[in-house]
Structure 1
Amino acid sequence: MAYPGFVPVRQLVLVDLLGLMLAVRPAERAVIAVDGVDGAGKSHLVGELVALAPLVAGRQVLGVSMDGFHHPTAQRYARGRTAQTYYRDAFDYPAFARLVLEPFRAGREIVAAAHDVSTGHPVSPDPVEADDDAVLLVDGVFLHRPELVARWDASLFVHVPFEVSVPRGQARFPGRRHDGDVDPEHPAHARYVGAQRFYLEQAPVQQATWVLDNTELARPQLLHGDHEEPVV
């Protein structure tokens, strides 16, 4: 039951998180990674923060998803469909740097996607202007990998166990469901869960500026950089 003036816990946590992000590189453009496994809720979280920003801050917040920078299908699967090839071959990081990171750092417009993974076609969305002190949130998997980690001014790791993230991720594609598909150990998930387990061995949580435990959507927990003490 909701009471007049009642503010849900999730909104309180997101306001705190947004405040931390807005403190990064004040008066300059800043890029913040929002990392986590598939199904952690990264893209939805970025959408919430972008929508919340005009209500609580005087600084522009923009969102870009690494999903817009998948390689074409043939290139993604050229070396097989294993966990290792998903980690190595799924994303076009040079295109992301050329269209997003480099122009954003240089004070120019960005192009938020290069490829539509659902259709297999290249895309050319309209360029997006950003304020001189804009904060750019980039969501995706593997964002603390060695070739990317130094590109961010700060980073968030969205933590969700596979027992929660896999069913949550599968719920986005009801037409693809099959028996056992909510079990992380099901063979259907070997490519994606396997790649993410390999990535988690690189300790992205320890490298992140903040960690958000997003397991319980209504009551997420935001952790400081020591990853031990909850903010809320």
Structure 2
Amino acid sequence: MDQGEVLEHVALRARSAGRPVVVGISGFCGSGKSTLARHMVEALPGAVRMRGDDFLDPARSHLRSADWDGVDRRRLVSSVLEPFRGEQQGDFRRYDWAARALGVPEPVPRADVLVVDLIGLFHPEALPSLDVTIWCDVELDVAVSRGMARDRALGRRHEALWTDVWVPNEREFAHEFMPREHAELLYASSQ
């Protein structure tokens, strides 16, 4: 699907749901998740974004794991996704990368659509809390090339993390949890 078709599908789902809808966008590192999420929020009235990076554990996200355990899915689900879907009051804490700790409590957003973009999102811990699942359908080698180029442009030197940690994590997660197969929509990202 292209971006227009994805937006049309999400807008239709949001109108027919009768409650707030959570849209999960996942894919390999560098596949275009954040770009799609930003475009979606700009294009859909009543949509807000929850950055997946706010739910990474900085120590564990830089370690090898077969299930992307550096993604704090439990905190995301319990403090944001479930209260949002249930239209309940609640607070959550983003990870503050500058302070290297969880930030101050913030209220769970109120909106018609919550867009979450995150690696390792299509996992049994989070899938039941996602109403629409979108996979940025880019081959791993292409996504890695894009992600490494983005990091270099931002002055980040993560080559060893990419080759020694993130790419092996992506391969193992894809093999173990088959996230692409859990996607309702496959988005052909050209980033």
User: Structure 1 length normalisation: TM-score?
Assistant: 0.70
| Equivalent AA in structure 2 for residue 23 of structure 1 | L
Equivalent residue for 1:156, pick from 121, 131, 134: 134
Shift in Å, 1:193: 0.7
Look up the match of 2:55: 69
CA offset at residue 156 of structure 1? 0.4
> CA 1:165–1:120 in 2, change beyond 3 Å: closer, same or farther?
same
State the partner residue of 2:148: 170
CA contact (8 A) 2:144 2:162 kept: no
- My pick for the range that moved more, 38-47 or 160-169, is 160-169
Alignment length (residue pairs) = 186
Aligned match for 2:104, one of 104, 124, 128: 124
Matching residue of 1:5: none
Structure 2 residue 182 is matched with structure 1 residue 207 = yes
User: 1:125: how far off?
Assistant: 5.9
Does 1:49 pair with 2:29? Answer: no
Q: Which residue of 1 aligns with 2:170?
A: 196
Candidates 16, 19, 24, aligned match of 2:8: 19
Give me the whole-angstrom Cα distance separating, in 1, the residues matched to 2:42 and 2:35. Answer: 11
Q: Secondary structure at the match of 1:47?
A: helix
Given candidates 20, 31, 37, the residue that maps to 1:40 is 31
CA contact (8 A) 1:34 1:138 kept: yes
Structure 1 pair 111–157 and aligned structure 2 pair: CA distance change class (3 A):
farther
Quickly say closer, same or farther: Cα 1:115–1:103, change in 2 above 3 A: same
Per-residue deviation at 1:205? Answer: 1.5
What is the identity percentage for the equivalent residue pairs of Structure 1 and Structure 2? 26
CA deviations on 1:115-152 (whole Å, 9 max, x unpaired) are 12465222126425424xx0111110112112222221
Cα deviation for residue 65 of structure 1 reads: 2.0
Return the match for 1:91 from 29, 51, 71: 71
Aligned residue in 2 for 1:103:
83
Q: Do the aligned residues in 2 keep the contact of 1:108 with 1:130 (CA within 8 Å)?
A: no
Gaps of at least 5 residues in structure 1 are: 1-11, 55-59, 218-232
Deviations 1:95-127 (A, max 9, x none): 212321122122135656521246522212642
Looking at structure 2, the residues matched to 169 and 109 of structure 1 have their Cα atoms a distance apart, in angstroms, of 36
155 and 20 in structure 1: CA distance in 2 versus 1, 3 angstrom threshold:
same
Superposition RMSD in Å: 2.6
TM superposition shift of 1:13: 3.4
Structure with higher helix content: 2
Give me the whole-angstrom Cα distance separating, in 2, the residues matched to 1:64 and 1:187. Answer: 24
Q: 1:81 deviation in Å?
A: 2.8
- Conserved in 2, the CA contact under 8 Å of 1:65 and 1:112? no
Tell me: higher relative CO, structure 1 or 2? Use CA pairs within 8 A at least 6 residues apart. 2
Post-superposition, which runs of at least 4 consecutive aligned residues in structure 1 deviate over 4 A?
109-113
Q: 1:19 to 1:127 in 2, by over 3 A?
A: same
| CA 1:125–1:49: 2 relative to 1, 3 Å | farther
